[in-house]
Structure formats: C-alpha cells, structure tokens
C-alpha cells in the first residue's frame, strides 16, 4: 500500500475513535441558581445557556421536587454559596441522573407545596431561564394584616406597591442604581407615614426583593380589601435630560405620549423578566350585564384615582420638580382593577444623573413619602368611605371643581341638597369653582 494511503488511513481511524468513543459535550449548561423568597411564596430561577428541555416530578417523605434537565451539564459553581432565606425551599442539590447527559436537580421542601414551572426567553440582563414558583395554599399575609374591614369605624386601607423586584430590576440609573430598590425604600417610608395617621392602615404588596406578577398586585390589594392601590416607581427615558415626578392613572386607550408608551413597554418587559402573566377567561353567561357593572365600577375607580393623583401632585410640587402638573394616562395592568381606585407614582427620573442621586438620598425619599402620604390623607379626609373612622371624625370639607353642581356633590356624598345648603347657609343652588363647602355627615 502506498505511504500516502497509510497516512490517510491512520487519520481516519484516529478521527473515528475520538468522535465515537469520546463523550458528547452537553448542548446546555446550568450557569447559576437564584432564590427569591416572598412571605407566601418562593421563586427559584435556573439560569441556562440555552432554552431548557425539562421534566419534573414530586416525592414524599420528605417532600421534594425533582427536576431533570435534558442534555445539560451543571457548572461547578452553580450551587455554590446559594443565598436562601425561604421558608418553603430548604436547599437545592444535584442527584444521580436517570440517563447519561441528563442533569438531575432536587429541591428539598419544608412541606408539600404546589409548584408552577415554566421557561422564559432571554430578556434584558438575563438569558434563558427555567422558573419554578412555590406557593402556600393558605391565605396571603397581606390579607391577614387587615381584619377590620367588616367592622364599624374601620380604617381606610391603602395598598402600597413597590414596583418591580426580584428578577426584574426595573430601570437602572447611570451609576447603577436599581429602580426596584429605590421604589421599595420610598414605599416603606410611605407605609410608615400612613400607618402613623389616625384612621388609615397601609399594607405593602411587596415587602422584600422579590417579584409579584403584575395582575397579582391588584389581587393582593383586593384580598386586603383596599380602598386605594398606589404603585411606587422611578421613571426613565432614552436620554438623560428629562426629570421630575409624575402620577399616572388608567386610560381606556393606549398612551398617546412617548413617555406613556415607554411606560407601557417597560411593563411588558417586567412581565418577561419577572414571570409570565396569567390569562383570565370570563365564562359568565351574563357577560353583558357583568360588563355594564364593571364599567360603572371602573368609572368610579378612575374618578377617585384621578382626584387622589391630583392631590399627590399638588404636594409633590412643593418638594420636587414635576414632569407634568396634571395626572397622565396609560393602560397599565397594575391600574386595571375595576373595583379599586389605582394610581402609579413616578418619583423622578432615575435616568437623570442628578435625580438618580436625589432618589437615593434618604432625606429626599422622606420628602417624597411625606408628599405622597399627605396627598392620600387629604383625599380620604374629604371623601371618607362609609363606615370608616375618618367618616366619623367631623364634617367633610369639599372644594368645588369645574363641572360640579350642588346636586352632583350631594350625590357623591350621599346627602341631600337641602342638607348641604343648610350647613353652608346657601340661599340658592348655585356654586362656583373653587368654593369651599362643608358636607354634613349623612
């Protein structure tokens, strides 16, 4: 055989040996694991190099969830120094795989817990992810915080929502400040100030660094039987120039401003970063009647939200620059509860270097929280819900707005026109814009 053919044959044998005999390289890699613990749930996020192929099952005695990742290897440091303060998840460990090339993970649980598992595509700072949500079956902690709703002389309940959290950092400032942290700090201050006011009870939707699905935020406010939902955020823009606070309320239509469109887009990104939104189907046969009732409730909620937003803007304008002096409109999930007046406060532009520094400053945070809490209190002092302690404390003071008549005001407060006229010593039904009226208790 010629020498050339011998050399060629050796190369063929060498190549065949190493391609057939050598183990195949896994197509995917588990890079890291993160645990986000909430009071009533825990989210475990597995960061992977590519889209995962996965299967799972549960085991008893002890309770645990077993996850098999197909054609995947685990990075050596993936489970090293795992930060875990969850009451539901005890630990996460590797286990012997059922087949070659499969990566088996075991999540040891504190008790039998419902698990919801799904994958997420690359978004923002994150790549492909496998997400597992563990939830407790009993009532939420926020509902347990409020137990006086059905009683007489109850507190007005305000749900304070710190935007973003957990996997979703929100906007990131020029020096690396995360919106989720600023939002939680200000939300905590607002909650503290409201709870110091007689007749008001504030509850937090998010009390730590974890993500709450956007529609779930309204559900938690409903479980707390809240009279108002206020979501705290920090704004951002594509350039560093814009600055100032703003307050947003629900619009039936898509936002008609560039800022509003960016806000709506950031909400979609939050859904992808933090989790997958739920799809709710209405199977009620009385859908037309239901829609009418919902529309009526929504109109009242929007009206209340706009009034509270106007109050807050008035007080914010005394402590910081305003981006817009009137409430703005956007179609956002956190504002869409038909039965709960809702608004979103943008405390400033984190994308503006000067305002980023202010938003991190404890003194400025205190001023913002003071303005937000005062605006809320002023509204409910003027329009206390029936059966509340605030409704029992003295007469209501009302400032006449454009388009209001004495009969409209009387209907709003559920008192007679004659009673208002008597309390204010009015000789006619004519009122003027800006006029201050005393509204007697019904």
Q: What is the distance between the alpha carbons of residues 215 and 332, in angstroms, rounded to a whole number?
A: 10
Task: Give the pLDDT confidence of 155-194 residue by residue, as tens digits.
Answer: 999 999 999 999 899 999 999 999 999 999 999 999 999 9
**Nearest-5° Cα angle at 233, 43 to 226:** 75
Confidence band (pLDDT; 50, 70, 90) for 389?
confident
Residue ranges of domains in the chain, CATH in brackets: 28-135 (2.60.40.3500), 141-275+286-382 (3.40.630.40), 394-439 (3.10.350.10)
Lowest mean pLDDT among 149-153, 178-182, 241-245: 149-153
pTM of structure: 0.75
Confidence band (pLDDT; 50, 70, 90) for 255?
very low
Confidence band (pLDDT; 50, 70, 90) for 261?
low
Task: Give the pLDDT confidence of 302-351 residue by residue, as tens digits.
Answer: 888 999 999 999 999 999 999 989 999 887 878 877 788 999 999 999 99
**What is the secondary structure of 195-238 as a DSSP string?**
HTSTTEEEEES--SS----HHHHHHHHHHTT-SEEEEEEEE--S
Lowest mean pLDDT among 53-62, 102-111, 286-295, 363-372: 286-295
Instruction: Look at residue 266 and tell me whether its pLDDT is greater than 80.
Output: no
Strand, helix or coil for residue 51? coil
Strand, helix or coil for residue 175? coil
Smallest CA-to-CA distance from 180 within 219, 214, 206 is with 206
* pLDDT score of 227: 94
- What is the average pLDDT score of the chain? 84
Task: Give the pLDDT confidence of 392-403 residue by residue, as tens digits.
Answer: 776 677 889 888
Six-digit token string for 149: 């709703």
* pLDDT score of 297: 57
Confidence band (pLDDT; 50, 70, 90) for 250?
confident
What is the strand order of the sheet 28-37 is part of?
72-74, 28-37, 41-48, 128-135, 114-120
Q: What is the distance between the alpha carbons of residues 322 and 307, in angstroms, rounded to a whole number?
A: 17
* pLDDT score of 286: 46
Smallest CA-to-CA distance from 304 within 220, 379, 199 is with 379
Strand, helix or coil for residue 40? coil
Six-digit token string for 258: 């560039």
Instruction: Look at residue 73 and tell me whether its pLDDT is greater than 70.
Output: yes
Query: What residues contact 183, with CB distance under 8 A and at least 6 apart?
Result: 162, 163, 164, 165, 170, 232, 233, 234, 347
């Amino acid at each position: 055989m010629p020498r050339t053919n011998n050399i060629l044959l050796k190369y063929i044998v060498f190549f065949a040996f190493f391609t057939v005999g050598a183990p195949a390289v896994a197509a995917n890699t588990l890079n890291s694991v993160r645990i986000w613990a909430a009071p009533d749930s825990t989210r475990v996020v597995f960061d992977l190099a590519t889209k995962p192929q996965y299967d799972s099952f549960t085991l008893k005695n002890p309770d645990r969830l077993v996850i098999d990742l197909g054609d995947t290897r685990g990075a050596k440091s993936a489970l090293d120094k795992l930060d875990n303060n969850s009451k539901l998840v005890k630990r996460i460990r590797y286990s012997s795989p059922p087949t070659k090339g499969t990566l088996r993970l075991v999540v040891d649980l504190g008790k039998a817990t419902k698990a919801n598992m799904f994958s997420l595509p690359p978004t923002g700072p994150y790549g492909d992810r496998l997400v597992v949500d563990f939830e407790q079956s009993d009532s939420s902690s926020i509902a347990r915080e409020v137990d006086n709703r059905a009683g007489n002389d109850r507190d007005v309940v305000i749900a304070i929502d710190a935007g973003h959290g957990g996997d979703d950092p929100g906007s990131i400032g020029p020096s690396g400040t995360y919106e989720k942290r600023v939002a939680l700090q200000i939300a905590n201050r607002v909650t503290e100030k409201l709870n110091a006011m007689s007749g008001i009870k504030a509850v937090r939707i998010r009390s730590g660094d974890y993500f709450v699905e956007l529609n779930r935020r309204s559900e938690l406010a409903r479980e707390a039987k809240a009279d108002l939902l206020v979501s705290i955020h920090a704004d951002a823009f594509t350039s560093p120039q814009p600055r100032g606070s703003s307050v947003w309320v629900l619009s039936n239509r898509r936002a008609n401003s560039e800022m509003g469109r960016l806000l709506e887009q950031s909400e979609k990104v939050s859904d992808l970063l933090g989790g997958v939104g739920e799809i709710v189907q209405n199977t009620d046969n009385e859908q037309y009647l239901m829609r009418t009732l919902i529309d009526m409730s929504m109109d009242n909620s929007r009206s209340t939200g706009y009034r509270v937003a106007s109050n807050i803007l008035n007080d914010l304008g005394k402590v910081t620059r305003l981006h817009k002096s009137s409430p703005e409109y956007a179609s956002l999930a956190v504002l869409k509860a038909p039965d709960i007046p809702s608004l979103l406060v943008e405390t400033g532009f984190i994308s503006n270097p000067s305002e980023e520094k202010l938003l991190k400053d404890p003194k400025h945070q205190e001023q913002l929280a003071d303005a937000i809490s005062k605006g809320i209190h002023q509204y409910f002092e003027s329009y206390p819900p029936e059966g509340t302690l605030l409704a029992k404390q003295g007469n209501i003071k009302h400032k006449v707005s454009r388009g209001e008549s004495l009969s409209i005001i009387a209907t709003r407060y559920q008192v007679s026109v004659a009673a208002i006229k008597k309390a204010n010593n009015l000789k006619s039904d004519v009122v003027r814009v800006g006029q201050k009226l005393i509204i007697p208790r019904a």
